[in-house]
A and B are shown apart, each in its own frame.
Chain A
Amino acid sequence: MAFAVFSTATAPSTDPVARRRSPVALFLLLPGILYLVLFFLTPLVSLLLTSFQTPREFGDIGQYDYAFRWQNYTEVITTYWPHIVRSFSYALAATFFALVISYPLAYFIGVKARKWPLLQSLMLVLVIAPFFISFLLRTLAWKQLFSDESFVVQSLKALSLLGPEAHVTGTAFSVIFGLTYNFIPFMTLPLYTTLERLDVRYLEAGNDLYASPFQVFRKVTIPLSMPGIVAGTLLTFIPAAGDYINASRDFLGGTGTQMMGNVIEANFLVLQNYPSAAALSIILMTVILVIVSIYVKRSGTEELL
């Protein structure tokens, strides 16, 4: 379902003629449909059923029976609401920072550097290069850089920019920093693909019609790059909201920075409270779906394509 929302936002809407059902099209779609039923629908139903399970009477820890125990939801919401709020705020902040950092970068590569194709390719390679190193390793490297004994933190303390008792790891800053850092390529690439196709003649027309460079940016460039902005923010926001690496205590997070991903992990692997973990997962999915559909509707990108 999330995929469907996403694809209407980015793919050109197919014309009615192409939508007419034909047996050949159905036949060609069959493997895809089977795949989705097997690996998407089945786990989803199983997750939903698990989220309503009740602990087995006189059973061991981790033993549950199928039931309709909707209290699982109210319980996890009352217990974990700070984590839920935190997840979405952190994801929102990271998406915002990633956008602010990526847009000028993508604009430079896609528009300004058109005259120098070599520079363009080089910069694209640099954007993608971090993917060659494991996500975990890169996050661990940042943990080293932000640790209390690190050169960075020591220097900041020496300059009195940080208090003597301050830490960087385990704070909201370091988690949002990690999320932003890790998702910047996912933001930059879709932005680059739309900006690369941006016809500068529209910008010239804007200039000719008395719009200052800033007005041209706001009235012409931004609306025309909306498909890239929507794709980039979704590719960042959705995984960031469910991320549990950056916020984990083993990486950049601390006790006060746990996100939904971390509590799901804890409930599932440590506490063996499967219904709670499932309920939290369902909540996470639903909230993301609602936010994303409102966002896609509001940004009105369908019209652009």
Chain B
Amino acid sequence: MAAGAFADRGADLELVGIEKRFPGFTAIENLNLTIPAGSFFALLGPSGCGKTTTLRLVAGLEEPTSGRILIGGTDVTNQKSFQRPVNTVFQSYALFPHMTVLENVAFGLRRRKINDPVAKAHEALLLVELDHLAHRKPQQLSGGQQQRVALARAIVNRPALLLLDEPLGALDLKLRRQMQLELKTIQEEVGLTFLHVTHDQEEAMTMADTIAVMNKGRIEQMGEPQQLYELPKTAFVANFLGQSNLFTGPVVSTTSTAIAVDVSGQKIVVPLGRAHRVSGEVTIGVRPEKLTLHKDAPIHDAGRNVMGPGRVIDVSFSGVSTQYLVAVPGVGTLVVFAQNMAFGPAAHVGAQVWLSWNVEHGFGLDDDPADAPRFEADLDTKTIAQQRRSSLVTELEEA
């Protein structure tokens, strides 16, 4: 980047066939990624999946074992970190302990000989509401305050590409929302490119133009937030971004518009355009909030899939909605979210219910069902505990 001036717009980032091996451990496998200039890109994934490693590769703090990195069309694979037009908000903050907050923020500006670094640093500190602490040392700040200084230290440089490694993790909800808004404003104002790493799926969904879900060093799926949510490609994505009810069974018939899958004797239809696999054993799913509870067997409707009867084994009220766990024999336990439109739950524990959903809301996964966890096997400890509890309750009632 030219000394003495800010980037006037974002740069696109391209990762081509990146692989990163640590001694005895492959952190990133064959990563291909293009982030268009000026977009807000979120990298989402569980702990240890390689998100920080990816950012370090882009920032030049780690060398890829193979592959190339291009920023704004220039190959920067062999450029040193300080030559790249990139700034990072580090997960560990890495604020210089021997400098005041103000000097920390002005550091990058001074190195690039930008005019009036102190005034600009104050501006950035105002943005994160910390200007009154400008003359403290980083050790004298709280965790959340340090995180905001780290944020100010990076954005003050207005880099063409900003890497954010969980930049809001230590903030409370209100401050977090506010910072999200600030970040989005800065990003759109100058049209910078943001690569944002987060654990928080809601943050990723609300802020990002594009989300990539990463798992074990690979990108499982990439796309717009809504697309990722509505049409997950793998069981991992289906359960990492929100919750899903997944079923496995063989495809029994195919029409020009849909496939029908036999799930323990119940025929479930998925539109062809929403199914990644169309023959053999497949895994299909539906989101919990798309399910409707019925107290009587619903009348047959070609536009809806029906499953049941099943028994309600748990009801938990969470304000806006109520979560029901319904055990369907031969299929497993399904999760249902229902809006609290009326007083009291629609069904009580032990009630016999049917479930239905619009055919258009189902999706078919790309996973090989042999690899994908079967729904029964996927019961988490919480579900098991709930089942135990409900069986105990029935036992007591019978006695």
Contacts and interface: CB of A to CB of B under 8 A. Distances in A.
Given A211-B107, A215-B111, 14 more contacts: A202-B94, A202-B96, A204-B94, A206-B96, A207-B80, A208-B61, A209-B82, A209-B107, A209-B157, A210-B1, A210-B157, A211-B82, A211-B111, A304-B97
Interface residues of B, number: 24
Interface of A: 199, 201-202, 204-213, 215-216, 219-220, 223-224, 226, 303-304
A303 B103 CA distance: 15
Contacts of A199: 94
B98 A209 contact: no
Interface string B104-140: 0001100110000000000000000000000001000
Q: Which of A202, A209, A213, A215 has the most CB of B within 10 A?
A: A209
Given A223-B98, A224-B97, A207 B81 contact: yes
A201 B81 contact: no
Contacts of B86: 208
Give the secondary structure class of A's interface.
Answer: helix
Nearest to B83: A210
B152 to A, nearest CB: 12
B153 interface: yes
Given A209-B87, A209-B108, A209-B153, A204 B98 contact: no
A217 B86 CA distance: 20
A195 B94 CA distance: 17
Given A208-B81, A210-B111, A201 B98 contact: no
Contacts, number: 64
A59 B13 CA distance: 93
Contacts of A207: 60-61, 80-82
27 contacts: A201-B90, A202-B94, A204-B61, A204-B81, A204-B90, A205-B88, A205-B90, A205-B95, A205-B96, A206-B96, A207-B80, A207-B81, A208-B82, A208-B87, A209-B107, A209-B108, A210-B1, A210-B82, A210-B111, A211-B107, A211-B111, A212-B82, A215-B111, A223-B98, A226-B98, A303-B98, A304-B97
Q: Which 9 A-B pairs have the closest CB atoms?
A: A209-B108, A205-B94, A207-B81, A210-B111, A223-B98, A201-B94, A207-B82, A211-B111, A208-B88
A220 B90 CA distance: 17
A229 to B, nearest CB: 13
B268 interface: no
Interface string B43-78: 000000000000000011100000000000000000
A205 B88 CA distance: 8
A226 B59 CA distance: 28
Contacts of A202: 94, 96-97
A304 B111 contact: no
B92 interface: yes
Nearest to A301: B98
A216 B153 CA distance: 16
Contacts of B82: 206-213, 216
A283 to B, nearest CB: 36
Q: Which of B1, B98, B108, B153 has the most CB of A within 10 A?
A: B98
Contacts of B112: 210
